[in-house]
């Protein structure tokens, strides 16, 4: 192998190492793929939808109501849910109506599900923040309350308790696969 060939080969190795390093940094600190596992966010998200998680956004600002977030539920399992309650707020649901600090808050992403409810059927079920694990009167700083959109089939803050900001991986809103589901999810 000539000196020029070695130099060219070394250049390619450096370029590949740089590319792999860049991909590693982007994936580790900025964006990562995630696959929806289960029906807890239906009809907004479906089982096996593939999404991109923005890991950096919450270094710039706090979560906002109705953001869809990915968080560490256990050491081995991440969940995808919607932020409902923010620090300093009191949350309650009564007769399928969300109340934040005693004021009604519309949940447009649940409109169709609520319209399809049969008499006596329950989507969310009544609860107050005090009834959830932890028994808080208001959501403490650095915590949020999350619920799945498929309220009757979701393991969320009603069972898990409030979610610490340290548990949150990031915000997700882009479904990229399957291609017929490709969209940016909004409220």
Q: What is the pLDDT of residues 115-157, one digit of tens each?
A: 887 887 888 889 999 999 988 999 999 999 999 999 988 999 9
Tell me how far apart the terminal alpha carbons of the chain are, to the nearest angstrom: 61
Per the prediction, the chain carries an average pLDDT of 85
Helix (H, G, I), strand (E, B) or coil at 6: helix
**Core vs surface per residue 110-137: b (16+ CB within 10 A) or e:** beebeeeeeeeeeebeeeebeebeeebe
Which pLDDT score is estimated for 165? 94
Provide the annotated active-site residues. Answer: 40, 81
Of 9-18, 79-88, 133-142, which range is least confident? Answer: 9-18
146 in Cβ contact with 8 (< 8 Å): no
Query: Is pLDDT above 60 for 26?
Result: no
Q: Which domains does the chain have, with CATH numbers?
A: 36-184 (2.10.109.10)
Give 3's contacts (C-beta < 8 A, 6+ positions apart). Answer: none
What pLDDT sits at residue 59?
A: 80
* Residues contacting residue 124 through CB under 8 Å, at least 6 positions apart: 93, 96, 147, 151, 152
Each as own residue / partner, the long-range contacts of residues 117-126 (CB below 8 Å, 24 or more positions apart, any chain) are: 122/96, 122/152, 123/96, 123/151, 123/152, 124/93, 124/96, 124/151, 124/152, 125/93, 125/151, 125/152, 125/158, 126/92, 126/93, 126/94, 126/95
- The model's pTM is 0.81
Nearest to 154 by CA among 37, 48, 49, 56: 37
Residue 80: predicted pLDDT:
95
Residue pair 129/92 in contact (Cβ under 8 Å)? The answer is yes
pLDDT in tens, 167-180: 999 999 888 888 88
pLDDT at 111: 86
């Amino acid at each position: 192998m000539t000196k020029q060939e070695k130099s060219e080969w070394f250049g390619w190795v450096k370029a590949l190492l740089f590319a792999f390093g860049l991909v590693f940094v982007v994936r580790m600190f900025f964006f990562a793929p995630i696959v929806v596992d289960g029906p807890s966010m239906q009809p907004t998200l479906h089982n096996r939808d593939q999404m991109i998680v923005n890991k950096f956004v919450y270094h710039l600002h706090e979560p906002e109501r109705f953001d869809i977030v990915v968080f560490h539920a256990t050491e081995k399992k991440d969940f995808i849910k919607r932020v409902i309650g923010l620090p300093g707020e009191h949350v309650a649901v009564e007769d399928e109506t969300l109340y934040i600090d005693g004021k009604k808050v519309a949940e447009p992403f649940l409109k169709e599900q609520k319209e399809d409810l049969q008499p006596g059927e329950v989507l969310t079920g009544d609860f107050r923040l005090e009834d959830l694990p932890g028994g808080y009167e208001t959501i403490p700083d650095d915590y949020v309350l999350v619920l799945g959109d498929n309220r009757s089939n979701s393991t969320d803050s009603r069972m898990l308790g409030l979610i610490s900001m340290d548990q949150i991986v990031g915000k997700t809103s882009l479904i990229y696969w399957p291609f017929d589901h490709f969209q940016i999810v909004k409220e």
